[in-house]
A and B are shown apart, each in its own frame.
Chain A
Amino acid sequence: MTLLLRAIVASSDAHVGADLGLSAVSGAAVAALASPWEKARVAGEPELLDHHRTIQSVFERVPCLPARFGSVFADEAALHSRLALREVDFASQLARLGHRCELAITCAWRDKGVTSPVSIVPASSGRAYLERGLQRTRSDREREIRAEAIVARLLSELATEQGSVRHRTCPRPAVAVSMSVLVTRDEIDGIGSRLERLGEQLPDVTIVVQGPWAPYTFAVGE
């Protein structure tokens, strides 16, 4: 049976996932938690969401670095040898992030028009085609400018340290801003209230807040 990596924890917390069916592969400072995984198994959406549930179960108990979904190891020895290469980095990240968690803040455009798929109706002429393209470019630029203004409002409202926020503007047609904020659990209620008030002042977007999650965005991949 192969192993699917779920999360990295301090070696002193290695046994935290025993009742979740997680194997612990320990180094000197950190341990990798992994689940049995049939080599031929095909992953789909349920497996993705199960990965999240497993990580959250660990994170509710101890600080952890969530693993990006998809890494499988032949056995514990293979996982251990890979872990040894990154152990110092992982220990440093665990110390840096501590008990903090991630809030996902998404500002979705209320105007359904901006989420409409690009028209597939052929343009009646070359000029019409170019004008349509120009109009789309202008519209995209206006949305980008508006999204940047929303980011400024969010950052002002959150008043958090710069290294604790990551954001993207217009990552998808329906979304103006996708933001991740690293917070302590004590801060969550206050942030929620402030965003509630801010949402009332931003008529063109709906603010969706999710979390607290394990710090996916702040656990550095490579």
Chain B
Amino acid sequence: MTREPATLDVPLVELVDRLLNRGVVLTGELTISVAGVDLIYLGLSVVLSSVDTIRRAGAEV
């Protein structure tokens, strides 16, 4: 599979989508915020806005 400039962000966004929107839920007493937005209301667009930051942090993933 090749990775071209237009698709460099795609793998990271796909992973973040799963971390935020999928997986089992066991509602805790607190819900963490990401980028200042409560996860209950957090959509992928919020994460996309900071994808450059995610990419730097994700270099080791």
A, B from the same assembly = yes
Interface of A with B (CB < 8 Å)?
Answer: 2, 4-5, 8, 32, 39, 42-49, 51-53, 65-74, 78-79, 82-83, 86, 90, 93, 102, 104, 106, 108-110, 112, 115, 172, 174-175, 178, 180, 192, 195-196, 199, 206-210, 213, 216-217, 219-222
- A71 near B25 with CB under 8 A, answer yes
| Given A68-B22, A172-B13, A216-B23, A46 and B28 contact (CB-CB distance below 8 Å) | no
Closest residue to B2 on the A side, CB-wise? A206
- A110 near B14 with CB under 8 A, answer no
A48 neighbours in B (Cβ, 8 Å): 16, 19-20, 34, 54
- A108 near B29 with CB under 8 A, answer no
| Given A43-B34, A53-B61, A209 and B1 contact (CB-CB distance below 8 Å) | yes
- B53 near A72 with CB under 8 A, answer no
B23 neighbours in A (Cβ, 8 Å): 65-69, 216, 219, 221
Q: Which 4 A-B pairs have the closest CB atoms?
A: A71-B28, A216-B18, A108-B7, A72-B30
A39 to B25 alpha-carbon distance, docked (Å): 19
A72 neighbours in B (Cβ, 8 Å): 28-32
- Interface size classification for chain B: 35 or more
- A67 near B50 with CB under 8 A, answer no
User: Which of B9, B20, B29, B57 makes the CB contact (< 8 A) with A69?
Assistant: B20
**Chain B contacts with A in 6-61, Cβ cutoff 8 A:** 6-7, 9-11, 13-35, 39, 44, 47-48, 50, 53-54, 57-58, 60-61
